[in-house]
Homo-oligomer: A and B are copies of this chain.
Amino acid sequence: MEPVDHFRGFLKKNGLAFTSARAAILKGIVASRGHFDADALHEQLKRVGESLSCATVYRTLPLFVQSGIIKETLRSKGRARYEPAWGLEHHDHLECVACGRIIEFRDDELERLQDKVCQRHSFRPVEHRLGIRGYCSECGKKGT
């Protein structure tokens, strides 16, 4: 199922309208593979000729999160960041503190162990975020 169809369904189910602003923002999200923040998304849309108020971008992002089109991920420099999630498998992140690079990884055993921890505490997990900060292979060579 295409993200746009899923999103239309989500909106209808909640009595919300599928507006041109929302269509444009969705296009922007799909176009930008990778992590982004509200401002970057807004800029990209401007570049493509879509001029939306930034309030609209901010207001709309939560709808995309709720519908599962995107996920909120680790925030950076005081800004909330997001990444596409529709049809993509969960993963966690390595963040280079030197160059800012973000490396994605998935480790099934890590996921399994987290579930075990939750069971041990009778905790029903909904989502988790693991961010490991350090030096990527490139920056590791140069630095200390």
Please give the residue numbers on chain A whose beta carbons come within 8 Å of chain B beta carbons, in ascending order: 75, 94, 96-97, 103, 105, 107, 109-110, 113-114, 116-118, 120-137, 140
**A114 is contacted by which of B110, B116, B128, B136 (Cβ under 8 Å)?**
B110
What is the distance, in angstroms, from A68's C-beta to the closest C-beta of chain B?
16
Q: Are A133 and B127 in contact (CB under 8 A)?
A: yes
Q: Which residues of B contact A116 (CB under 8 A)?
A: 107
* Contact status of A123 and B110, CB under 8 A, knowing A94-B118, A118-B94, A132-B117: no
* Contact status of A124 and B109, CB under 8 A, knowing A118-B94, A118-B132: no
Give complex CA distance A121, B101 in Å: 12
